[in-house]
């Protein structure tokens, strides 16, 4: 009877040892096939014991030796070896990469990583901003003049893919929230009936902004509240009266001055008198209001 009990105990000891080796010190059970599919777990640097460096199972974690990864890829512990995605011997882990924002830099590909925006060869221009605030677009290398608060949220159209064409350049007029193609010499408009066009926020039919009625142009008089507007005047070559302008126009064009914000006007603002008629007396507006997102005199 004693012999039978000893035999049963021996069988249990052998079976328990096999289970312990399989779970802690044996070959890992990989979810994804052999090493070429998911990568072989890192060999322990301190031996094959279960506590100090066994191979990971299904990407799991050992006590002190190796940490499992998805698909069986494992980083070895002290002194251990590791294998990357694609099997033993290394390789790059394939990660989903978003295209980086890089408005003024250079896109650079990196080994085993996502593309980055390189600014090492970029020389930022000297900024002359109408207001002290500056900003930097996400991913940009250089600062830019911060937009006026009234321009925040405006979706601006960019320059044409092939440029503005001969005799024109991309500029942002004083007061405008966005840029536009500006001709070096003013040209005429096509003889077309003015259509009923619906322009995006911050834009108006061109005849309200010095252009043609069949195109949408950035509006220098765009506003969101009455506080964005004021009455001002400037030197003119012929007749003209004080009018409602945006605060942005006043800040960005030193030729404007007004009763509520008087200032000295630079000499270069004075235009040659080209008027060949007598100008009527002006009636000074009582103030300026923002109506339909445009500064209007009242």
**What pLDDT, on the 0 to 100 scale, is given for residue 288?**
97
Judged by average pLDDT, the poorest of 28-32, 102-106, 188-192 is 28-32
Domain annotation covers residue 287:
yes
**HEC-encoded secondary structure of the chain:** CHHHHHHHHHHHHHHHHHHHHHHHHCCCCCCCCCHHHHCCCCCCCCCCCCCCCCCCCCCCECCCCCEECHHHCEECCCCCCCECCCCCCCCCCCCCCCCCCCCCCEEECCCCCCCEEECCCCCCCCCCCCCCCEECCCCCCCCEECCCHHHCCCCCCCCCCCCCCCCEEEECCCCCCCCEEEECCCCCCCCCCCCCCCCCCCEEEHHHCCCCCCCEEECCCECCCHHHEEEEECCCCCCCCCEEEEHHHHHHCCCCECCCCCCCCCHHHCCCCCCCCCCCCCCCCCCEEEECCEEEEC
**What pLDDT, on the 0 to 100 scale, is given for residue 287?**
95
Q: Which has the closest alpha carbon to 231: 160, 164, 285?
A: 285
Quote the domain boundaries for residue 239: 221-276+283-298
CA distance 188 to 165: 16
Domain annotation covers residue 212:
no
Region 28-47 average pLDDT: 39
pLDDT at 290 over 50: yes
pLDDT tens per residue, range 238-283: 999 999 999 999 999 999 999 888 999 999 998 877 888 889 999 8
- Count of beta carbons in the 10 Å neighbourhood of residue 118: 15
pLDDT at 76 over 60: no
pLDDT at 204 over 80: yes
Domain annotation covers residue 9:
no
Domain annotation covers residue 292:
yes
Residue with tokens 């900024």: 127
**pTM greater than the 0.85 cutoff:** no
Domain annotation covers residue 144:
no
User: How many domains would you assign to the chain?
Assistant: 1
pLDDT tens per residue, range 116-166: 888 998 888 887 776 666 778 778 898 888 778 899 889 999 888 888 988
Domain annotation covers residue 53:
no
pLDDT tens per residue, range 3-22: 445 444 444 444 444 433 33
pLDDT tens per residue, range 167-185: 889 999 999 999 999 988 8
C-beta separation of 95 from 101 below 8 A? no
**What pLDDT, on the 0 to 100 scale, is given for residue 68?**
39
Domain annotation covers residue 288:
yes
Domain annotation covers residue 177:
no
């Amino acid at each position: 009877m004693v012999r039978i009990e000893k035999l049963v105990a021996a069988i249990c000891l052998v079976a328990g040892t096999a289970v312990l080796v399989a779970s802690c010190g044996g070959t890992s059970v990989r979810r994804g096939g052999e090493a070429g599919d998911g990568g072989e777990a890192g060999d322990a640097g301190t031996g094959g014991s279960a506590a100090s460096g066994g191979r990971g199972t299904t990407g799991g974690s050992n006590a002190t030796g190796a940490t499992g990864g998805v698909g069986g890829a494992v980083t070895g512990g002290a002194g251990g070896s590791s294998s990357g995605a694609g099997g033993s011997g290394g390789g790059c882990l394939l990660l989903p990469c978003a295209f980086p924002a890089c408005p003024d830099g250079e896109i650079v590909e990196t080994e085993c990583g996502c593309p980055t925006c390189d600014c090492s060869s970029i020389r930022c221009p000297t900024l002359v901003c109408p207001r002290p605030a500056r900003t930097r677009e996400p991913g940009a290398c250089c600062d830019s003049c911060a937009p006026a608060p009234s321009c925040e949220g405006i979706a601006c159209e960019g320059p044409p893919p092939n440029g503005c064409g001969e005799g024109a350049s991309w500029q942002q007029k004083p007061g405008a929230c966005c840029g536009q193609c500006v001709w070096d010499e003013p040209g005429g408009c096509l003889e077309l009936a003015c259509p009923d066009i619906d322009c995006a926020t911050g834009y108006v039919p061109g005849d309200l902004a010095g252009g043609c009625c069949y195109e949408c142009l950035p509006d220098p008089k765009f506003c969101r509240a009455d506080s964005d507007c004021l009455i001002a005047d400037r030197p003119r070559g012929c007749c003209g009266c004080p009018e409602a302008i945006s605060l942005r126009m006043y800040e960005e064009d030193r030729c404007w001055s007004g009763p509520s914000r008087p200032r000295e006007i630079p000499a270069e603002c004075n235009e040659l008198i080209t008027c060949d008629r007598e100008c009527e007396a002006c009636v000074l507006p009582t103030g300026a209001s923002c109506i339909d997102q445009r500064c209007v005199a009242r």
